[in-house]
Amino acid sequence: MAKLKKSRGSFPGQNAAPQTASNQPSKDNAGDLADLENIETAMEASHKSVVSRDKEIGETAERPSGPVGLDIGTSHIVMAQNAGRHINTVNQLNAFFTIPYSKFTKKILVENDISFYSKGDQFYILGYSAENFANMFNTNTRRTMEKGILSSHEDEGITVLQSIISSLLAKTEKQEVVCFSMPGVPVDGNASVVYHESIIKMYLASLGYRPISINEGLATIMSELADDNFTGIGISMGGGMCNVCLSYLSVPVLNFSVQKGGDYIDTMVGASVGEPATRIKMIKEGTLNLASTPQDRVETALDIYYVDLVSHLLNTLEHELKTTDKMPNINNALPIALSGGTVLPKGFKDLFEKGLRKVNLPVEISEVRIADDPLNTTAKGAMVMALSEEI
Ligand SMILES: Nc1ncnc2c1ncn2[C@@H]1O[C@H](COP(=O)(O)OP(=O)(O)OP(=O)(O)O)[C@@H](O)[C@H]1O
Ligand SMILES: [Mg+2]
């Protein structure tokens, strides 16, 4: 295949407006030219760096003027906005904690700017505030999502998730585009992503936004593979799952998810060495170096389950690529872009490349690349898509 020409001004996979001979806008193609301008802005945004921060306790929700990217992840919800030379992201913990209702406690919560709502005889404490409470009570926060989608075990999960989203995004009348991340259909579970998507879409619409979903693997591609004409494989390895998308010229050809991620590593290592998963998570996030020889049994088990996760992911990728009937005839070698918190430890790229040599993918891989800012990649990619979708 001929080398792809670098394109400015359009996502190569999208319908570019036919140019008039003089390249002057005609009445008929004025709308198409506006689309091209949006796409140009989106392409520029994909080259910008991210400035990220945590949502502060007591901070009110924003009312964005402009398109928004929203990563609705098992561990975190991240909102991205285009802001001059950078992309700004704000992240909120996707967790909650319940405490018994009392008028006195309510006064204290309000005075301390804690995000919460009350239902029945309980207060539901939201986001980062919930983590502080859980630490104080020496227990775990509860999650609204499990393995990448709405938890079926939490009756209040939907209301809590909606409240956490509204701690980032305020009600508006501006109908701004919000492009939110959606997992691919899991190959190893019977979970319904359709239900998850509909609930989130309805809620964002009720807040006054124009919601559009983007596959999480494709979001990685939109964020990281602009210089490759948005052609390659994007893999987001998060807390609850790994999302994979193969895209050709920004068009998703194949996507799927496996319902294993960082949480799986924490649980399996914890069960193997007899330690709580939360302690394993702290060690993993704090000091794990996959490039060095393990010093104790926790590090040994972390190494083992990292290899296990990557090998499960790559074996599934091999199987999906070999059995799909949608595979385009790609002769060029494809890059793989990796994002999500699970790719953060030192030595992860080498471990992944080692795993890659053990499988026999039906496409050639040119290189493996770790995203610039793995925890914010999905939100950034979703925002790039949102910019191109603006009216
Ligand atoms: N420095 C780190 N080293 C190793 N793992 C980390 C690090 N920081 C975060 N993680 C892990 O990354 C995971 C969270 O990643 P991320 O925020 O990308 O997930 P998510 O988008 O919320 O989840 P998902 O996409 O699966 O729904 C957790 O398992 C967390 O323990
Ligand atoms: Mg994610």
Number of the ligand 1 atom closest to the C-alpha atom of 286: 1
- CATH number for domain 31-94+144-389, candidates 3.40.50.10490, 3.30.420.40, 3.40.50.300, 1.10.287.1260: 3.30.420.40
- How many Cα atoms within 13 Å fall on the side-chain side of residue 45? 32
Q: Which residues line ligand 1 (CB under 6 A)?
A: 71, 73-76, 148, 236, 238-241, 261-263, 281, 284-285, 340-342, 344-345, 375
Each residue's pLDDT tens digit, 234-246: 999 999 999 999 9
Listed as ranges, residues in the chain with pLDDT below 50 are 1-25, 27
| Joined tokens for residue 41 | 């802005």
Give the residue from 366, 95, 62, 76 showing the smallest Cα distance to 207.
62
Per-residue CA distances from 110 to 40, 102, 125, 245, 313 (Å): 45, 12, 11, 44, 45
Return the biggest CA–CA distance within the chain.
Answer: 73
CA pair distance 44, 42, nearest whole angstrom: 5
Number of the ligand 1 atom closest to the C-alpha atom of 236: 25
Ligand 1 site-directed mutation target among 52, 72, 74, most atoms within 8 Å of CB: 74
Please give the distance, rounded to the nearest whole angstrom, from the Cα atom of residue 220 to the centre of ligand 2.
Answer: 10
At 30 the pLDDT is 65
Give the residue from 344, 339, 391 showing the smallest Cα distance to 73.
339
Please give the distance, rounded to the nearest whole angstrom, from the Cα atom of residue 122 to the centre of ligand 2.
Answer: 30
Each residue's pLDDT tens digit, 119-173: 999 999 999 999 888 888 888 899 999 999 999 899 899 999 999 999 999 999 9
Give the residue from 308, 324, 307 showing the smallest Cα distance to 362.
324
Please give the distance, rounded to the nearest whole angstrom, from the Cα atom of residue 317 to the centre of ligand 1.
Answer: 21
Number of the ligand 1 atom closest to the C-alpha atom of 148: 27
Distance of CA 324 to the CA centre of its chain: 24
For 172, left (φ over 0), alpha (ψ -120 to 50), or beta?
beta
Give residue limits of the domains in the chain.
Answer: 31-94+144-389, 95-143
Please give the distance, rounded to the nearest whole angstrom, from the Cα atom of residue 41 to the centre of ligand 2.
Answer: 24
Which amino acid residue places its CA nearest to atom 20 of ligand 1?
Answer: 73
At 37 the pLDDT is 76
The answer to whether 13 and 248 have CB atoms below 8 angstroms apart is: yes
From the CA of 287, the nearest ligand is: 1
Note the helical H segments in the chain.
30-46, 103-111, 128-136, 157-168, 193-206, 216-224, 262-273, 277-287, 297-323, 348-357, 377-389
